[in-house]
Structure 1
Amino acid sequence: MSKFQVISSLFILVFILFVTYEITAFSSNHSTTNFSTSNRYIHVQLLGVNDFHGQLDKYQRISGTMAGGAEYLAAYLKKYKKENPNTLLVHAGDMVGGSPPISSQFQDEPTIEFLNLLHVDIGTPGNHELDQGVNEMQRLIYGGFNNKTGYFQGSDTSYISANIIDKKTGTPLLPPYIIKQIDGIEIGFIGVVTTDTDLYVTPENRKEVEIQDEVSAINRTVKLLKEKGVKAIVVLAHESAKSDQTGANPQEALVEMAPKIDDEVDVIFAGHSHDYANTVVAGKLIVQAYSYGKAFSQVNLEIDPHTKDIVKKQAKIIVTSHDQIKPDKETVALLNKYRKRLGSYFYQVVGKLPEEITRNQDANGDSPLGKMIGESEREAMGVDIAFVHQGEMRNNLKKGDITVEDLYTDLPFGHSVSKLILTGDQIKFALEQQWTKDYENRLQTVGLTYSWNPNAPIGSRIVAIKDIKGQEIEPNKEYEIAVSNYLAAGGDEFTAFEQGRLVESGPQVVTALIHYIQQKYSHEMVLH
């Protein structure tokens, strides 16, 4: 064989091998079979919880089934974690705050213990993590001493937030992001909290920090992650979102933000509004699993190991139905420990209600439960007028026996009653603040009536105000009123109450309500 023939044969052999390789490669890249794609991509499962609010031993009916409770949530999460070793458990804030006695009476340490038991990997604070102040939030995260409970070891979860800024340093109070590695792939997680935190947390409890714009904080942090070569990015946002069960009709603040957020973000876990969300907006998968542990989000990702990009994402919102699983024994032991420590006082019956007292507002903005709380505050402070903000109440009061625990669960924030002196003009100013350009936030009032014009400009809607005797409230006359210390400090942006003069600090709001129910319904009281 000539030299030319040898070279020709080698060329033909190389060409055949090259063509064979190209066909194989093309088949691998464009296969329609699940087998080849599943082999090629790395499958990652993210399980998400939001707005748990320490509801360790509370259950609710959803979609016709009983759901919620720490022992059932734990059972589901443990089951799903076993199904995929590439699983991370995350939360989007408000895991504590507004909690029932089993958690709140121990500074929410039981809820952190529960999250440690679950081995939650990453979390971001919600606005309620700041209810007791920055120092107490940091104590629950990093450990430390509390006068009521002693030393606590803190959380095993990595907490992140890109927009809670320390005023002293001008830098994030917590790490803005964390990078987790799964099968050699780096996934970046960014945390943010709603700027509405300033509405719900008193200035005293957030004086050390500033809450910056969410979108700017996310995009700034995405840039840092991209500089590190991270292309799979997930945001934990304590920010509201909502959609239909089909994913249609996406709404709320996070939906408006999504188009402005860097396209490298693939998934956003939402929170704050306690709604259902499973939708895609501007290429970003947004999920929210109701609240109180009634459900959790399951997000399945497929990541290309070569490009490090998320190439597929899909989610389910899974209800923690009691009839589908057995409670987790380890969590049951934790609950029993704290039930025993809670003692018998909280299970005492304080009265028997002849009908349900609802927190819901009617067409006029009046809430029967809000009115009842207002009456109890008015009587506790010996005044004629009381104001109650809608956020004070968390649940309706059921018909029948009402226990101390029921009332602490319904009024979980530990607010106390304050007696203030306000002028008639200042009272009018407070009533005008029920309307802003963005929303309506009606106060519950006792001891006065008012009329208003819904078509008048904001700030000029109140037409007339009358006291309990039907006489006009005079602009310059001083009146004694009862409000929670939260409202007295300008909570919910009712800054008018800050102008009042504090006369006296009274009992806790829940204590005033306990006494009121005992007085009004004691003849129907059932002793246990």
Structure 2
Amino acid sequence: MSKFQVISSLLILVFIIFVIYEITAFSPNHSTMNHSTSNRYIQVQLLGVNDFHGQLNKYQRVSGTMAGGAEYLAAYLKKYIQENPNTLLVHAGDMVGGSPPISSQFQDEPTIEFINLLHFDVGTPGNHELDQGVNEMKRLIYGGFNKETGYFQGTNTSYSSANIIDRKSGTPLLPPYVIKQIDGINIGFIGVVTKETNLYVTPENRKEVEITDEVSVINRTVKLLKEKGIKVIVVLAHDSAKSDQTGANPSGALVEMAPKIDDEVDVIFAGHSHEYANTVVAGKLIVQAYSNGKAFSQVNLEIDPRTKNIVKKQAKIIVTSHNHIKPDKETVALLNKYRKRLGSYFNQIVGEMPEEITRNQDANGESPLAKMIAESEREAMGVDIAFVHQGEMRKNFKKGDITVEDLYTDLPFGHSVSKLILTGDQIKLALEQQWTKDYENRLQTVGLTYSWDSNAPIGSRIVAMKDRKGQEIQPNNEYEVAVSNYLASGGDNFTALQQGRLVESGPQVVTALIHYIQQKHPHE
């Protein structure tokens, strides 16, 4: 064989080997497929926070360890971002509202500054973002002037909400979706808030908007994203979800919605119910990381850059334990700035609790803390009857000294006390509204007792009502009743109270409680 023939044979052999490799390496049935492609999948990390509620300087115990606080949450998030540069930071709403004084006394601007410091990529409003009305929500997002704090620059986070609909235009108030690109992959984010926001936010503060059905707007928005060729879709839903630590026994609004949501949705970040969730329902990974910054969600995605599809997804809920990390210095500086501005007033001791006063309800729907608040409102307005709703208060009172900050943290909404004139029939209707087909929302009453039949139809459960002297409440008689201005305006769907006649506006709910504690439980 000539030298030329040998070289030609070798070249042909090399070519055949190359062709065989190409065919086998990229054959979907070949056993080396996973090995050859695993290195080329794009690793994307989504870190999620929900229901922070401005808890910048508040800590809680989780499984025996101290957790939470903005400086620790920031330290964890920065650490995880550093470990994977392909990270997007997201939140599922209620980042503000129900905040302690360090945030609430400055119109929640400190919390937005914290969000900006961490450079959250995408967020969605929860129901509490609307507590102060649509314009104030938009100011915190886009910037603007407030008479209490002056001009604020807003946030650098992209916000989305597909189901907060502007009544005038009939279109979403905020962008229905946000697209973020990471390592060449476009990821679509759709924000929604629970339709129950129509119940929780006073009519005055949501008059410009309507909150529509979540599933239908998600599916419509998914269609828009699919038309743009986007295959990785994440929903930021301020809606409830819950599961066991293993992912078993999922429940909540989003679990019920999941089978109805377009299958192109891959991940749903939940919120609103402050529960733990890490589960898969109808092929959708659903996560919720408790509340108040004591944990966050880590979602890891493996994405095929050729098909743009997710090939693997998994999640962890990570507690922000103080034991394993040092506080973030930038955040500590931010907190110190606002502690200084807050001054010493909130450190003053108001009284001393002889025992823990809990907000937890018993079988009859009664809560010791709610009863104390109701008594303080009744005394402040000089009436015989008072009602308090469970959502008014956020924390238990610990045994021992109670400070002004403790009270403002427990009653953060700035509600005032109203004196209403209600007929017996109107009082009965308000009590009937504690039950709906979907849930029970009990009122705390003082100066009035009532009995009910839990087996009777909704709307016809109240059997008898008596005043503090044991006299039957008469349908046509008029009674003076103390409630918060939130309840008086029909908040929490107690629309019967809107029928009452407002005769006097009193102090803030927190002020009435301060005076009550100073009298009943003075500091020794």
1:324 is aligned with what amino acid? Answer: H
Measure, in 1, the Cα distance between the counterparts of 2:350 and 2:11.
Answer: 95
Equivalent pair of 2:356/2:398 in contact (CA under 8 Å): yes
Shift of 1:227: 0.4
Tell me which residue corresponds to 2:151.
Answer: 151
Tell me which residue corresponds to 2:369.
Answer: 369
Tell me which residue corresponds to 1:142.
Answer: 142
2:521 alignment partner, SS class: helix
Structure 1 window deviating more from structure 2 (280-289 vs 10-19): it is 10-19
Call closer, same or farther: CA 1:330–1:429 in 2, change over 3 Å: same
Tell me which residue corresponds to 1:42.
Answer: 42
Tell me which residue corresponds to 2:352.
Answer: 352
Tell me which residue corresponds to 1:127.
Answer: 127
Tell me which residue corresponds to 1:31.
Answer: 32
2:468 is aligned with what amino acid? Answer: I
**Map of 1:373-412 to 2, 5 A cutoff?**
373-412=373-412
RMSD, aligned α-carbons? 1.8
Tell me which residue corresponds to 1:454.
Answer: 454
Tell me which residue corresponds to 2:423.
Answer: 423
Equivalent pair of 2:25/2:36 in contact (CA under 8 Å): no
Shift of 1:184: 1.0
Tell me which residue corresponds to 2:476.
Answer: 476
Equivalent pair of 1:416/1:509 in contact (CA under 8 Å): yes
Structure 1 window deviating more from structure 2 (491-500 vs 8-17): it is 8-17
Tell me which residue corresponds to 2:23.
Answer: 22
Shift of 1:9: 11
1:117 alignment partner, SS class: helix
Measure, in 2, the Cα distance between the counterparts of 1:10 and 1:377.
Answer: 94
1:453 is aligned with what amino acid? Answer: D
1:327 alignment partner, SS class: coil
Shift of 1:365: 1.1
Measure, in 2, the Cα distance between the counterparts of 1:14 and 1:356.
Answer: 81
2:315 alignment partner, SS class: strand
Measure, in 2, the Cα distance between the counterparts of 1:36 and 1:296.
Answer: 33
Shift of 1:410: 0.3
Equivalent pair of 1:419/1:482 in contact (CA under 8 Å): yes
Tell me which residue corresponds to 2:340.
Answer: 340
2:460 is aligned with what amino acid? Answer: S
Tell me which residue corresponds to 2:314.
Answer: 314
CA offset digits 1:95-114 (Å, max 9, x no partner): 00000000000000000000
Measure, in 2, the Cα distance between the counterparts of 1:380 and 1:418.
Answer: 10
Measure, in 2, the Cα distance between the counterparts of 1:73 and 1:219.
Answer: 33
Tell me which residue corresponds to 1:209.
Answer: 209
1:310 is aligned with what amino acid? Answer: I
Equivalent pair of 2:97/2:104 in contact (CA under 8 Å): yes
1:300 is aligned with what amino acid? Answer: N
Equivalent pair of 2:97/2:131 in contact (CA under 8 Å): yes
1:400 is aligned with what amino acid? Answer: G
Measure, in 2, the Cα distance between the counterparts of 1:426 and 1:20.
Answer: 81
Measure, in 2, the Cα distance between the counterparts of 1:24 and 1:46.
Answer: 31
Structure 1 window deviating more from structure 2 (452-461 vs 35-44): it is 35-44
Instruction: Give the percent of matched residue pairs that are identical in Structure 1 and Structure 2.
Output: 84
1:73 is aligned with what amino acid? Answer: L
Shift of 1:19: 2.1
1:458 is aligned with what amino acid? Answer: I
Measure, in 2, the Cα distance between the counterparts of 1:117 and 1:265.
Answer: 29
1:222 is aligned with what amino acid? Answer: V
1:287 is aligned with what amino acid? Answer: V
Please tell me whether residue 501 in structure 1 is matched to residue 521 in structure 2: no
Tell me which residue corresponds to 2:66.
Answer: 66
**Map of 1:164-175 to 2, 5 A cutoff?**
164-175=164-175
CA offset digits 1:36-56 (Å, max 9, x no partner): 443120000000000000000
Structure 1 window deviating more from structure 2 (237-246 vs 35-44): it is 35-44
Equivalent pair of 1:416/1:506 in contact (CA under 8 Å): yes
Structure 2, unpaired ranges of 5+: 2-7
2:388 alignment partner, SS class: strand
Measure, in 1, the Cα distance between the counterparts of 2:233 and 2:442.
Answer: 39
Tell me which residue corresponds to 1:289.
Answer: 289
Measure, in 2, the Cα distance between the counterparts of 1:111 and 1:30.
Answer: 51
2:446 is aligned with what amino acid? Answer: V
Structure 1, unpaired ranges of 5+: 2-6
Equivalent pair of 2:162/2:177 in contact (CA under 8 Å): yes
CA offset digits 1:289-332 (Å, max 9, x no partner): 00000000000000000000111100000000000000001100
Tell me which residue corresponds to 1:4.
Answer: none
Equivalent pair of 2:188/2:230 in contact (CA under 8 Å): yes
Tell me which residue corresponds to 1:466.
Answer: 466
Measure, in 1, the Cα distance between the counterparts of 2:330 and 2:378.
Answer: 45
Measure, in 1, the Cα distance between the counterparts of 2:158 and 2:142.
Answer: 10
